[in-house]
Structure 1
Amino acid sequence: MTIPTLDIMDTPVIGVFATCTEDFALVPCGTKVNAKDLIADNLHVQVLEVIMSQSSVIGSMVRANSSGLLIPRGSSIEGLEGIDLPISNLPDKLNAIGNIVLANDSTALVHPELSDHSIDIIAQTLKVDVHRGTIAGLKTVGMAGTATNKGLLVNPKATAKELAFLEEIFDLPVDVGTTNYGTAMVGSGLLANSKGYVAGSKTTGYELGRIEGALGFIVQE
């Protein structure tokens, strides 16, 4: 079995540069073929090289699920041939959408300062219930955690109250962990859906075990 770790753009912070859904993964142009193949094989998705307003940090700027895509105001995205989903621009000045929105196919946790208008757009585009909140006191919830349709892995400094809230709104098991040899912003080092995952190249075997347990890839006896 191939160990599911890799670099994108020669860095292990793969969640900054890429994002994924149940059906596709978006990576910046110039991503190496072996990285794209590893993502496709482990997540069982179509991998698309995209261009967005001359930015390579696709994972920080985009949040998507099976129903739609969110991108910053004034931005456009190219390379989505074959993906027939609505794309919405959020109007807020908080424009790193991947950093401030944590979502799966049913629920989203968002930066607590997002406007009501943006909340409505997120709900309509992604077809999710949207809640404001923090993880480990951090407002950048999109990088403080990873959510799939089977479970969540979040920053190990998340409080008991935050963990309980996440379990309530997502109605899924929630666990804590790290990536890339102790990085608490787990979303920066992890791409995952309900079918599989890949992590940054510096992620340890222990961390991979935590990921697999939290996201439902290990059957608990």
Structure 2
Amino acid sequence: MLETIDFAGDENIGVYTRVFEDFAVVPLNATEEYVSAVEKKFGIEVIKTTIQGSSIIGSLLVGNSNGLITSGLATPEESAVLKNCSNVMFLSRTMNAAGNIILANDEIALVHPNLPDRYAEKISEFLDVPVVMMTIGGIPTVGMAAVATNTGILVSPGITAQEIKEIEDITSLPIGTGTVNMGSSLVGTGLIANSKSYLAGISTSGYELGRIEEVFGFE
């Protein structure tokens, strides 16, 4: 079974793709081969779009079973595509790369510590989960420093004991450290996953794949 893949030669597949439980979102320029690989691996529908005219879907989109959060700069046409999939919340301020600044599953959301409190409260209400404003290993772009599914959370190996405790205070899901693409600690850039399966960047080693499978319970 395919475990690693690239996007147009780029190992950072998490920057371009966002996978949820029932569907995935990829850029308009995704090849049919790439779309087919995602469809077969996860067994879900794949939606093609841009967000604010860009292909970096993974950086601009996040969510859980209750809804999607994306950039307020999404066009009406792009917004309509997303609204056809789920409820959508738009970030209308300059810090609008939702996939970079928010990490979410059905139990918890972590958000960039510099996001205003009122936005954190809106995110909590919209996704219907507790929200923690924090860093992961000192990295404020928590959406790229970790990958969260409903079966586990893979985090950057630089995470501190205090940061782990902050997450453990909210969820009982297993939390484990790991890397992708031969040592990248920004695991969200090179990994897409849900509770059913995963795909990692093409350079991800066998050891790194084993760690991913351990944390998410795919062994």
- Over the aligned positions, Cα root-mean-square deviation in angstroms equals 1.6
**1:78: Cα distance to partner?**
5.0
Partner-residue secondary structure (3-state), 2:39: helix
Give, as a single letter, the amino acid of the residue that structure 1 aligns with 2:20: T
Q: Distance in 2 between matches of 1:3 and 1:67?
A: 29
Aligned residues: 217
TM alignment of 1:1-221, pairs within 5 A: 2-76=1-75, 77=78, 80=81, 83-218=84-219
In 2: Cα distance, 1:208 partner to 1:136 partner: 21
User: What amino acid does structure 2 have at the position aligned with 1:191?
Assistant: I
Q: Secondary structure at the match of 2:169?
A: helix
When structure 1 is superposed on structure 2, of 124-133 and 205-214 the one drifting more is 124-133
CA–CA distance in structure 2, aligned partners of residues 68 and 144 of structure 1: 21
SS in 2 for 1:69: strand
Gaps of 5+ in 2: none
Percent of aligned positions that are identical: 41
How much has 1:120 moved relative to structure 2?
A: 2.5
Paired with 1:34 and 1:114, the residues of 2 have a C-alpha distance of: 38
What TM-score results when the alignment is normalised by the length of structure 2? 0.93
Confirm or deny: 8 A CA contact 1:51 1:79 kept in the other structure.
Answer: no
Q: Give 1:125's aligned amino acid.
A: F
| Structure 1 unmatched runs, 5+ | none
Q: Measure, in 2, the Cα distance between the counterparts of 1:95 and 1:9.
A: 25
Structure 1 residue 118 displacement after superposition: 1.3
AA matched with 2:210: G
CA distance in 1, matches of 2:32, 2:165: 40
Q: Secondary structure at the match of 1:112?
A: coil
1:140 positional shift: 0.5
Deviation, 1:73, is 2.4
C-alpha separation between the residues in 1 aligned to 2:82 and 2:54? 19
Contact conserved, 1:92 with 1:118, CA < 8 A, in 2? Answer: no
- Between the aligned partners of 1:30 and 1:71, the Cα distance in structure 2 is 19
Give yes or no for contact 1:92–1:114 (8 Å, CA) kept in 2. no
Question: 1-side partners of 2:46 and 2:85: how far apart?
Answer: 15
Could you give the per-residue CA deviations for residues 40-65 of structure 1, whole angstroms, max 9, x where no partner exists? Answer: 22222211111212111010011122
Q: Which amino acid aligns with 2:22?
A: D
